[in-house]
Amino acid sequence: MTLSTAVDRSAAHRPPLAVQVVDWLSRYSAISTTVLLLIVAAIVTPTFYDETNLRTVAVQTSALGIVVLGQMVVLLVRGIDMSVSAVVAVTGVIATSAAGGGANIAISLAAAVGLALMVGLVNGLLITWRKVPPFIATFIMFIVVSGALLAYTKAQTSGSAPAWLRRVGSGSIAGVPLPTIIWIAMGLLLFGVLTRTIWGRYVYSVGANPEASRHAGVPVFAVTMSAYVLCALCALVGGLMYSGYSGYIDQNLGNNVNLNSIAAAIIGGVAFSGGRGGVLGAAVGALLLTVLTNMVVVAGLEIYWQLIAQGLVLIFAVAINGLRDRWIRDTA
Amino acid sequence: MTLASPVSTESGSTEPLLELRNVSKAFGGVQALDRVNFTVLPGEIHALVGENGAGKSTLVKILAGAYVPDSGEVIVSGESHATLTPQRARAAGIAVVHQEFNLLSELTVAENVFLGMLPKGRLGAVSPEKAARLTTAILARLGSDLDPRRYVLQLSVVEQQLVEIAKALAGNARCIVMDEPSTVLSPEELKVLYAVLHRLRDEGRSIVYISHRLSEVFALSDRVTVFKDGRFVSSDNTVEMTEDELIRRMVGRPISELFPERVPSIGEPVLEVRNLTVPGKLFDVSVTVRRGEIVGLAGLGGSGRTTLARAVVGLEDVAAGQILLEGTRVPRSPGPCARAGVVMVPEDRKAHGIVAGRSVAANLSLPSLRRFSRAGVLSFKREQSMAARLIAQFGVRPASTRVSIHNLSGGNQQKVVLAKWFDTSPKAVVLDEPTRGVDVGAKSEIYAIIEDLSARGVGVLLASSDLTELLGVCDRIVVLREGRVAAELNRSDASEESILRAAVASGTSDEPEIAPQAPQSRTEKQ
Amino acid sequence: MTLTLAERVARTRLGPPSSWLRRNGAVVFVYLLVVVLYAVAASISPAFGRPENLAEILRQSIALGVVTIGQVYVLLGGGIDMSVGMTARVVGLGVAVTMGATTIPPILVIVLGLAVGAAIGLLNGVLITRIGATPFIVTLGMLGVLSGVALAITDGPTDVVPDFFFTMYDAAIGPVPIAVLVFLLIWAAAWFVLNRTTYGRNVYAVGGSADVARLSAINVHRTRTLTYVISGVCAAAAGIFLLSRSGVGDPGLGQGLEFSSIVAAAIGGISLYGGRGSIVGAFGAVLLVTMSSNIFDFLHVNGYFQQLVLGAIVLVGVSVYRTRGRQ
């Protein structure tokens, strides 16, 4: 968006080819890489398109995608949330222990929501009111929440997910997995809210320049707080999808979610420096990461290739963004 | 390194020390420098003058090695450079003292002076003691006994400037470029600076002195060069130049045409600041702005102008006092303030004014989004039509709602920053340096906007360091000194001299008299 | 102005400080805490106060301490390195496997391991300075890649390393382990480079303001890149040391070092925005962190609760201390 106007302005002399390539990559590399991967999958590993595998990909994309939605909003306000993986892990455990104790759905859900709200609020308060750098504040929350989980579970992997959760994780409507429907619904809602409401405007504006936004009367603290609360709630829903799908409760469930949710958002074009990015990009990022991970499995490669591939994709994405920003700065 | 040795001056040598030939530089289509020529002789103080946007800053940055010129050459002591890097500029003996100091506040004076070339002691280790000793020697040459072990963040502005000059001398610079050094200094401090510069000239060094204060150009310089709109206009010996001629060459038109005709109609008080105290910054300050009145806020840097402007809309922690809008206390943050009817346009446009990366329309609508929305949902149509209307009204160019605001020129950005508050129908407007870094054309347009505001009955509080601007626009000028009101001058009594005297006077017995109210001819309402 | 954690602490507790104290308040406070904590713990448990335990605390702090040195350089230069923990793991496991599978002399393997750390740092540095990639994200990506590489090297404990390694860990002069002496020497060297060489001062300048440094003819890119190389080497050294402690290549080696090193640096008064802070304070913070977990062991705090307790303490600390003089 920024770049296109920069190009308009200096239309007199066309930017050099390298710059055009970088510009193109920064906009379309995620989606084109995903398409490319899907084509490669069709040729190399046709089993990728088995119905069960497609369902796996869909559900995993959705669970990650839901977390990414929240992570994206936090990134948009110049933040970062390192506590999502703890929230993902803890929601599953809360759901199980409630089921084990014979409590009903409402109570276990309420407990999980309450915890997510609390995590989001504390994150937001530390960052706005106490002015702790986001990455430190949310990481402290990660330590505390996963520490509490460790103290509670004594590192024992315990129990299976309650029946209702497994039904959500494995259910479908018209052949579309339930988690995917939830993800798409949340994505559409967030898309609408970000583009068409005052709050959405505030989010982008705070991310692009918090001080100027404050001077223009934007309630910066409230907007920032809301982003962290929303992120924690998304992590909660994502966590439920993860445990519902896997069917058992594992406190290692959220292990890679921090890295993956940040990576998916960045790959999808959400700027680490705030104020730039959107739902569509974040969704593509989640899809790309999941397809990549899944193909490693389907192709029979060692599992470590997943981690390597994910890391490389993230480095590639941030390098492209870096080149692009540098170019914009040089021409500004 | 011959740190302490003056440059040898061979009399009669007229070979230029520094010469720019046909240097051009453009930024995204805007020609900042257009084939300019500029020559500095050894051992002279050479003033470079021009309005904002004349290309002075671009020239400075090229000399510093921060910008690469699109074409042309820079010749230093007979050696031609197509481009200068910071390293080459330093090696060639050019040092630049920027308007915003390039000092690291977390390091000591000595470390800043020798930044990047710290002297070594035994075993090849950096020696803080030696750096301190050498710095003391350099500062002594400048007539200063500043402790080199102090941290820069503890220094006053003039001390920081001395450190910058010392830094130039540590690199044995033969040509020192000073970018508007006087804007932050009091007259006493300026005297110190002038003495230092004369000493440097007597050592055979050259000074390029950039300024827009004509009085100091005549007091200080040997030669004067005029730039206008990125072009070279003239170079003359200062003694052969008159002030009127200089203005004509700089502005291209008489100063008076810059300001709109003013027929004020002043009404009841609208914005009242009563006994305001902001800890450490403002003490018991009272200012009243009436409907339709333009009140100037003068004072040196650090006198509390900006603090007062920020405090009005709740951006400072107020310890005591009241801020009233039409008799009711204003809220304590910018959003509610705007809804109540008082807005502030901040000094630092880039940091506080524009939301870079967002469109002009998004910037314009940001303070008044509630008015284009129902239950929080925006109406793009109404937003776009409002933005288009404001763009037309304020003459923002290019006249597009969708272009990103950081692609606009400084003047047009400022118009957007002003315009965004108009749709909130403010009753009082506080402007902090509204024309800083804005070209002449946009300047006069902004003055017209301010005049228009007051004609519509809005009370305007205008904080500015530009005395010409205050005298040209305001009905009344409040002068701050060290966080206190030092004087209140009517337009008829105010002059550059009287403002400056009030701004710097060491408050002993001769308290400047305080004008009781606005002149009678202007208090008649409508 | 954004204050580091410890500065807030110092400013809150010490009242209006003198100029020296204002600059060094964080450092003083960290060491005060170390002393107080030591005294309190020693009075509760006499065994804690014995010199052998002091030496043990120092030895336990080596891995975190060495990693923190690198992290301090990177932070002072205005960056951040999230890949240190996984660099330590890759190098530690790599060295363990190489020793088991080949006959290359152990010294050479160690040198190779350090070189790998340097290469990882160099790659980080080049991506950040030449390409302009965001330090946090790039090194996070590197963390991902390296965790995959570590898994590729081994997914279970490796064979026991040669005796040579145990000697490295256990050798002592009297009650003082040689490793501790070397460790203290490394810290002294790190201090010297940072405070008494042009390079070290340039790191501060670059972190304080890259633009100012550039205009002062400092090579910003090279200075920054080198901080990442230093960090990579330090992480590799920590990995090798951790290997010598456990004796087998543990696939969980180095877990969380990136965060604990950043937190230690922050507690020690290093600004997370670059250009400010003293490595002396960071050393105190390393001691503080190590001593806290040592105390937990002595007080028999259940292992499962340690993380929660530590996290809660930091959380309360961060929430309670007020920032003075905002803006």
Q: What integer pLDDT is reported at residue B13 of this predicted model?
A: 52
Lowest mean pLDDT among A48-52, B10-14, B167-171, C15-19: C15-19
Task: Look at residue A332 and tell me whether its pLDDT is greater than 90.
Answer: no
> Would residue A123 count as lying in a domain?
yes
Q: What integer pLDDT is reported at residue A251 of this predicted model?
A: 65
- The span from the CA of C212 to the CA of B160, in Å, is 14
> Would residue A315 count as lying in a domain?
yes
Give the end-to-end CA distance of chain A in Å, rounded to a whole number. 15
Using one digit for the tens of pLDDT, what is the confidence trace for B75-108? 988 888 878 888 888 888 999 988 777 899 889 9
Q: What integer pLDDT is reported at residue B340 of this predicted model?
A: 93
Q: What integer pLDDT is reported at residue B3 of this predicted model?
A: 41
Q: What integer pLDDT is reported at residue C15 of this predicted model?
A: 36
β-strands B320-325, B328-329 pairing: antiparallel
Task: Look at residue A223 and tell me whether its pLDDT is greater than 70.
Answer: yes
CATH of the domain at A69: 1.10.3470
Nearest CB to B356: which of A10, A208, A215?
Answer: A208
> Would residue A7 count as lying in a domain?
no
- The span from the CA of B21 to the CA of B30, in Å, is 20
Mean pLDDT in residue range A94-104: 64
Give the Cα-Cα-Cα angle A236, A242, A248 (nearest 5 degrees): 115
Q: How close does chain A come to C197, measured CA to CA in Å? A: 31
Q: Which domains does chain C have, with CATH numbers?
A: 5-10+25-40+51-326 (1.10.3470)
Lowest mean pLDDT among A52-56, A57-61, B139-143: B139-143
Lowest mean pLDDT among A107-116, B494-503, C230-239: B494-503
Q: What integer pLDDT is reported at residue B525 of this predicted model?
A: 36
Q: How close does chain C come to B44, measured CA to CA in Å? A: 25
Task: Look at residue A6 and tell me whether its pLDDT is greater than 60.
Answer: no
| Total structural domains within chain A | 1
- Cβ of A326 under 8 Å from any chain B Cβ? no
Residue B145: exposure state from Cβ atoms within 10 A (0-12, 13-18, ≥19):
exposed
Task: Look at residue A179 and tell me whether its pLDDT is greater than 50.
Answer: yes
Q: Which residue has the higher pLDDT, B250 or A78?
A: A78
Please list the residues that pair with C299 across neighbouring strands.
none
Q: What integer pLDDT is reported at residue C219 of this predicted model?
A: 93
- Cβ of B279 under 8 Å from any chain C Cβ? no
**Would you place residue A157 in the very low, low, confident or very high pLDDT band (cuts 50, 70, 90)?**
low
Put simply, the answer to whether A315 touches C136 (Cβ < 8 Å) is: no
Please list the residues that pair with B344 across neighbouring strands.
B430
- Cβ of A164 under 8 Å from any chain B Cβ? no
Give the end-to-end CA distance of chain B in Å, rounded to a whole number. 72
- The span from the CA of A272 to the CA of A71, in Å, is 11
> Would residue A10 count as lying in a domain?
no
Q: What integer pLDDT is reported at residue A14 of this predicted model?
A: 57
Put simply, the answer to whether B344 touches A215 (Cβ < 8 Å) is: yes
Using one digit for the tens of pLDDT, what is the confidence trace for B274-327? 999 999 889 999 999 999 999 999 987 778 899 999 999 999 999 999 999 999
Task: Look at residue B198 and tell me whether its pLDDT is greater than 70.
Answer: yes
CB A86 within 8 A of CB A100: no
Find the largest Cα–Cα distance for chain C: 62
Cβ neighbours, 10 Å, residue B269: 17
Q: What integer pLDDT is reported at residue B254 of this predicted model?
A: 60
> Would residue A2 count as lying in a domain?
no
All residues of chain B having their beta carbon less than 8 Å from the beta carbon of residue A202 are 369
Which of A255-259, B107-111, C176-180: highest mean pLDDT?
Answer: B107-111
- Rounded to the nearest 10 degrees, how much is the dihedral formed by the CA atoms of B255, B260, B265, B267? -80
Residue of A nearest to C8 (CA): A130
- Test mutation, C7, C24, C216, C221, chain B, max B CBs within 10 A: C216
Helix/strand/coil (H/E/C) assignment for every residue in B237-275: EHHHCCHHHHHHHHHCCCHHHHCCCCCCCCCCEEEEEEE
The whole domain housing A20 covers 16-331
Put simply, the answer to whether A311 touches C127 (Cβ < 8 Å) is: no
Percent of all residues in chain B with a pLDDT value above 90, rounded to a whole number:
43
> Would residue A6 count as lying in a domain?
no
> Would residue A9 count as lying in a domain?
no
Please list the residues that pair with B328 across neighbouring strands.
B325
**Would you place residue B463 in the very low, low, confident or very high pLDDT band (cuts 50, 70, 90)?**
very high
- The span from the CA of C74 to the CA of C200, in Å, is 11
Structure-token pair, residue A329: 């700065």
> Would residue A8 count as lying in a domain?
no
Using one digit for the tens of pLDDT, what is the confidence trace for B417-428? 999 998 888 999
Q: Which residues of chain C have pLDDT under 50?
A: 1-18, 322-327
Structure-token pair, residue C142: 């590197």
Q: What integer pLDDT is reported at residue B256 of this predicted model?
A: 64
Q: What integer pLDDT is reported at residue C12 of this predicted model?
A: 37
Put simply, the answer to whether A5 touches B404 (Cβ < 8 Å) is: yes
Please list the residues that pair with B30 across neighbouring strands.
B27
Structure-token pair, residue B217: 């150009």
Q: In what order do the strands lie in the sheet with B18-27?
A: B30-40, B18-27, B71-76, B79-81
